[in-house]
Each structure stands twice: as C-alpha cells, then as structure tokens.
Structure 1
Amino acid sequence: MIRSLLIVLALSLPATAGIYVIDGDTIVVGREHIRIVGIDAPETRQARCDAELRLGLEAKARVLFLLQRACGPLAKADAGRCLTIQRQPAPDRYGRTLARIGVGGRDLGATLVAEGLARPYICPRGRCPARKPWCEVPAP
C-alpha cells in the first residue's frame, strides 16, 4: 500500500521540479536530460586536455550563472516559469531531449557561442559532422 502511494506521488510530481547543469550544453530539468541543440561546448567529464577542461568548466559556470539569475535556486526552480524550452521532435542517440533553451528572452546556446564558450554545431537532416577538438593549438 505504502509503496503504491509512493509511486503515485513520484509520478504526480511536476517534471519541471529543479534544474541541474551537467556541462555547457546539457542540463537536467526534473528528470528530463536536455542537450542544447545547435552548439558544442567543451567536455568537463571526458576532457581530452587541460585547456578543454578549463573552458568546459567555464562554460558550465556560465550556464549555472545565467540559469540561477533567471530561475533563482536551481534545486527548487520551476523551469516552466523561467525558461523557454523548444523541444525537437526526436531525442539524440543517447535518449536526451534536443531543445533550444531560452533564458531571459535570449537563446542560451547563442549566448555561449557569442561568448566563445561553445561552437555552433549544426546537424543537417540529423547527420552530425565530427566534433572539432578543443585541444588544438592555433598556428601563430
């Protein structure tokens, strides 16, 4: 009886309860993992070099700042009130929702690209190009 009640309560919780930032291009809203479509941010968990890790942590911190400014404390945030989420019709190959995220009337991905914390990443007809490495040293 108690187990059934807990399951019903868990299923009735709003899907937008809380926001968690995984990295510069992935967030979790409630239980939904969302990959920000149209950008590629440096990795933090599987960074290939120190430069990628540093920039990845900077991108994550920027996303945290922008979301906290718009939503308040993220653990209790109601994403439906502070974000606009434009979901794509199909998930990515990892099962994440692909979406554009609007924060304070601005596209979050475009903001990160403009600030040099992400690159545009367009997948025409669902065919994504190889990601460019973040560890390349530009020629002098």
Structure 2
Amino acid sequence: MLSEQDIAYFRRRIDEVLQSGHVTKWQRQFLSDIRDKMARYGVRTRVSEKQFAILKRLTQDQSPAPKLEVVLSEVAAALRQPRQRQVSNSYSIGAPFERASRNRNPFRLRNPLRPRNPFRLRNPFRPRYPFCYASGAGRDSLLIVIGFILFVGLLGSFFGRTVDGVGSAEPQVGSGVVANAPSRGSANFTITDGDTIRLNNGTRVRLIGFNTPEKFEPLCSNEAKLGNRASERLQELVGRANTTNVSLVACSCKPGTEGTKKCNYGRSCGKLEVDGRDVGQILIDEGLAVPFVCGATGCPPTPRPWCG
C-alpha cells in the first residue's frame, strides 16, 4: 500500500504530466484512472506491480540536469598555481611526535571466514578490544543474541500470516467457490482490466478461457481503445448483476511453479460469473475478447489480433 507522501507525490506528478500534454491517449487514460483511484481510496489504494512500474515510468522527472558552467580562465589559473604543502601549526622542532588516537568501534566483528595473518607484527602495548578481536564468550554471545532475534522475528511473521489467514475469503486453489455476492454492488473484488480482477484480500486472479485487449501496454491505438471498452464493459456487467460468483481453479503451469512468478506472473487463476453467466463468453460474443484455452501444463501464444 502507498503512504500519504507517495499518494501526494504521484497525484502532483500525474497532474504535471497531464498538463504537459506529452502523453499518448492510453497513457492519459491510465494516469486519469490511477488519479481517480487515489482520490477515492487514498492510502488504501491498491495497484499491481505492473501498474506501479508503469506509473513510476510515466511520472518520473525527465527534466534535463542543470549544466555546470566552468570558466576556463579560472581553471587555467588554478592549474598554473603551484601546490603548497600545509604544515601543521601544532608541530614544532624538538617536540615529541604524538600519534592521534583512532576511534575504533568496540562492537566491530572480525570476518570469521578471513584467517589471521600469522606473519603480521603486532604491537604488544596496543590496547585490546574485547568485542573486536576476542575469540571467546563475548563475541559468541553477541552472535547468539542476533541469531535468536532473527529466529523470533521469522517465527512471529509465520504465526502472523497463519492467524491472518483464518476466516479469509480466499480458499486454496481448486477448492471451488470463493465469493458469492447475493445483492448488487457487494462484490468482494475490484477490476484491474478486462480479464484480471483483484480480491479484497489482495489476491490477483487471471480470468481463464478468454483474452481481452491490453489497455496498459497496447501494441496500437485500436487495442488500447478496445482494452478500455472491455474493462468498462466488465465493470458494467458486475455492477448490474444481482449475483457474482468467483471460483479459483488450477493454473495451466508446470508442476511445482504454482504461486510463483514462473506461473502466470504470480497470479491465481479463476472464473467469474454474473447472474450465472461466464463473463468471458459475454465479452467474446460482444467482440471485446477472443477465446484463449490452455492445456494442462502450458498455454499457446497469447492471441492479440487487434492490430492487424
């Protein structure tokens, strides 16, 4: 989730980019959608990793760096001037030389993989630092404490995820119905584009059986136009439906890659029905999507016939 500073920064940068006029039509649509979402949800705004990367790329400051003006005459004068060696005022002839004390970190640890040099001559009168060079209980105790803190942190994060998962609306993959909205407007998910949704618990779900045009990274203006229409049509179908039903299914990936970036970019797979009808078939019938059926462990090339 974004912080208040991030929200304020991105909203300011979006306004500046839109006012500059150096954006394409789909980029303007994308920035306008993100700005409206930030204005509506504030710090609760959720964006996918792909959307966040596009947002940072479009809103980064591309103004040219200031040029450093150098006066050649001053540079030449500085080069001709001989270097003068500075002599300390505190030193006088006949005074004993005193070495300045170095501020050592008493808690610095020696690299255990680096062996000591047996031929190095050491000053027998040099002060010893117990935490730095001692190989006894002091350093070992410090390492034990650090390891215990890391172990407790990992254990706490594991149990925290277990407790947060209790009562969650998201079951395991292939377990069937995830959400059932008995009345209009109570769907527990948001729409990312024409074939992707995000559940309220943060799970991204790729709807299977069809593929809609890309609206975030289109190959042509026609695909961007159809991608926006497909996303708007899906929002219209969900908004007008009396019941919505999301069911998770197993993704068509290689065994052992489910839930990782190697399988569907880390997204889950599922089906969305409105009033008992599959939204993919509705979008296909209306010309806003094309069939996209995968096998058991893989998918054919993604069809994108909208640019000729």
> Smaller-chain TM-score range?
0.7 to 0.9
Q: Deviations over 1:59-105 (max 9, x none)?
A: 0000000111126xxxxxxxxxx322221124542121111111111
Instruction: Tell me if the contact between 2:196 and 2:207 (Cα under 8 Å) persists in the aligned partners.
Output: yes
State the distance in 1 between where 2:300 and 2:162 align: 43
In the alignment, structure 1 residue 39 sits paired with structure 2 residue 210: yes
C-alpha deviation, 1:115, in angstroms:
0.9
Which of 269, 273, 279 does residue 102 from structure 1 map onto? 273
Q: Deviations over 1:29-70 (max 9, x none)?
A: 211211110111100111111000000000000000011112
Aligned residue for 1:65?
236
Instruction: Tell me if the contact between 2:213 and 2:306 (Cα under 8 Å) persists in the aligned partners.
Output: no
Instruction: Tell me if the contact between 2:213 and 2:226 (Cα under 8 Å) persists in the aligned partners.
Output: yes
Query: Which residues in structure 2 correspond to 1:1-140 (within 5 Å)?
Result: 14-15=168-169, 18-30=188-200, 31-70=202-241, 82-90=243-251, 91=258, 92-137=263-308
Rg (Cα) greater in structure: 2
Instruction: Tell me if the contact between 2:203 and 2:268 (Cα under 8 Å) persists in the aligned partners.
Output: yes
- In the superposition, the TM-score normalised over structure 2's length comes to 0.36
State the distance in 2 between where 1:14 and 1:119 align: 33
State the distance in 1 between where 2:204 and 2:197 align: 6
**Aligned pairs, number:** 123
State the distance in 1 between where 2:209 and 2:290 align: 8
Q: Secondary structure at the match of 1:124?
A: coil
Instruction: Tell me if the contact between 1:51 and 1:134 (Cα under 8 Å) persists in the aligned partners.
Output: no
State the distance in 1 between where 2:239 and 2:299 align: 31
State the distance in 1 between where 2:213 and 2:288 align: 8
State the distance in 1 between where 2:213 and 2:203 align: 21
Unaligned runs of 5+ in 2: 1-160, 170-178, 180-186, 252-257
State the distance in 2 between where 1:9 and 1:130 align: 40
Percent identical residues: 31
Structure 1 or 2: more helix by fraction? 2
Question: In the alignment, residue 87 of structure 1 is paired with which amino acid?
Answer: L
Question: In the alignment, residue 88 of structure 1 is paired with which amino acid?
Answer: V
Q: Secondary structure at the match of 2:210?
A: strand
Structure 1 or 2: more strand by fraction? 1
State the distance in 1 between where 2:249 and 2:165 align: 24
C-alpha deviation, 1:131, in angstroms:
1.7
Higher relative contact order (CA 8 A, sep 6+): 1
